[in-house]
């Protein structure tokens, strides 16, 4: 582990993975509670399509991904919650499929596209530089501050919308702020860690946190802790065994979530 930290590029990669993982897992607790996991998956793929388009047109990757995700977030906010003929989940599925296809097509049409397919899915942590990490940290910090200052409103709308309405919380505006912050966070993280790793951090650590936590605040802490440990162990495995960084982080994150779920299941038998 200490040998890994001697390299500047690995220090940047580790910092970016921890910052992105902690921020995504924090916001991901709401994603799980709201049952909008598919929204997270669709936004990640839309961000990948935006990066692919930026690659094709020669625009900055971060700008392309962020603009695409923010537009997608606004569209999702405008989607009807209930529809008689076509469900919201069906529309999200269509958006996910279209964004996935466009991402690959844009990359394929680019003269240097083949070299970026893997980075589009799994990110390019080892290529994160000083400027990239500072920009990522600033974006993640801004989103976390928004969530901390709006904590009670977000929790009220997520857990009990009826109660939130009764105490004067503007549900529509709170949801708009939530989706915009989610979109901004995904757009900021996707270039560094990739669509698959973004989705993994957004879902897996929060699941573990909610499985073990007795209250919501502990769930946030557990989720952030597991995401941070996954980033550290995943990058160490990548360095020690010459493995791709993104898939290594996702594998460790999946393993820790599985262990957390298994341990909780076994603990129920001991209590009986």
Average pLDDT over residues 191-211: 90
Residues of the chain with pLDDT > 70, as a percent, come to: 90
Does residue 162 belong to any structural domain of this protein?
yes
Does residue 270 belong to any structural domain of this protein?
no
Which of 49-58, 116-125, 147-156 is predicted least confidently?
116-125
Closest CA to 120 of 62, 190, 171: 190
b/e burial code for range 158-189 (CB count within 10 A of at least 16 → b): beeeeebeeeebeeeebbebbbbbbbbbbbbb
Backbone region of residue 194 per phi and psi (left: phi > 0; alpha: psi in -120 to 50; beta: other values): left
Task: Report the pLDDT value the prediction gives residue 271, as an integer from 0 to 100.
Answer: 56
Does residue 119 belong to any structural domain of this protein?
yes
Task: Report the pLDDT value the prediction gives residue 185, as an integer from 0 to 100.
Answer: 92
Does residue 271 belong to any structural domain of this protein?
no
Q: How many domains does the chain have?
A: 1
CATH number at residue 132: 1.10.3470.10
pLDDT, averaged across the chain: 86
pLDDT in tens, 261-272: 898 888 877 655
Does residue 144 belong to any structural domain of this protein?
yes
Does residue 82 belong to any structural domain of this protein?
yes
Confidence of residue 116 (pLDDT cuts 50, 70, 90): low
Does the structure show a pLDDT above 90 at 61? Answer: no
Does residue 129 belong to any structural domain of this protein?
yes
Full domain range(s) for residue 69? 4-264
Average pLDDT over residues 172-198: 88
Our CA dihedral for 104, 255, 244, 12, rounded to 10 degrees, sits at 100
Q: Which of 61-70, 112-121, 163-172, 254-263 has the highest mean pLDDT?
A: 254-263
Average pLDDT over residues 17-43: 93
Residues of the chain with pLDDT > 90, as a percent, come to: 36
Does residue 88 belong to any structural domain of this protein?
yes
Q: Confirm whether pTM is higher than 0.75.
A: yes
Task: Report the pLDDT value the prediction gives residue 120, as an integer from 0 to 100.
Answer: 65
Which of 54-58, 81-85, 108-112, 217-221 is predicted least confidently?
81-85
Task: Report the pLDDT value the prediction gives residue 24, as an integer from 0 to 100.
Answer: 96
């Amino acid at each position: 582990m200490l040998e890994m930290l001697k390299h500047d590029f690995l220090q940047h990669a580790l910092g970016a993975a921890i910052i992105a993982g902690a921020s995504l897992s924090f916001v991901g607790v709401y994603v799980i509670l709201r049952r909008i996991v598919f929204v997270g998956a669709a936004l990640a793929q839309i961000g990948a399509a935006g990066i692919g388009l930026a690659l094709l047109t020669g625009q900055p990757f971060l700008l392309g991904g962020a603009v695409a995700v923010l537009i997608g977030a606004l569209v999702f906010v405008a989607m009807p919650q209930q529809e008689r003929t076509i469900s919201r989940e069906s529309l999200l599925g269509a958006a996910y499929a279209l964004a996935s296809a466009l991402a690959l097509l844009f990359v394929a049409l680019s003269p240097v596209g083949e070299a970026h397919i893997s980075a589009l899915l799994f990110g390019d942590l080892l290529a994160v530089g000083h400027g990239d990490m500072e920009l990522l940290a600033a974006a993640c910090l801004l989103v976390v501050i928004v969530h901390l200052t709006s904590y009670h409103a977000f929790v009220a709308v997520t857990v009990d919308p009826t109660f939130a309405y009764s105490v004067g919380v503007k549900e529509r505006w709170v949801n708009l702020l939530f989706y915009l912050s989610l979109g901004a966070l995904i757009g900021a993280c996707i270039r560094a860690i990739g669509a698959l790793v973004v989705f993994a951090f957004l879902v897996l650590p929060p699941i573990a946190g909610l499985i073990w936590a007795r209250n919501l605040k502990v769930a946030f802490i557990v989720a952030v802790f597991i995401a941070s440990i996954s980033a550290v162990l995943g990058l160490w495995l990548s360095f020690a065994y010459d493995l791709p960084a993104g898939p290594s982080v996702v594998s460790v994150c999946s393993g820790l979530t599985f262990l957390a779920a298994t341990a909780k299941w076994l603990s129920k038998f001991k209590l009986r």
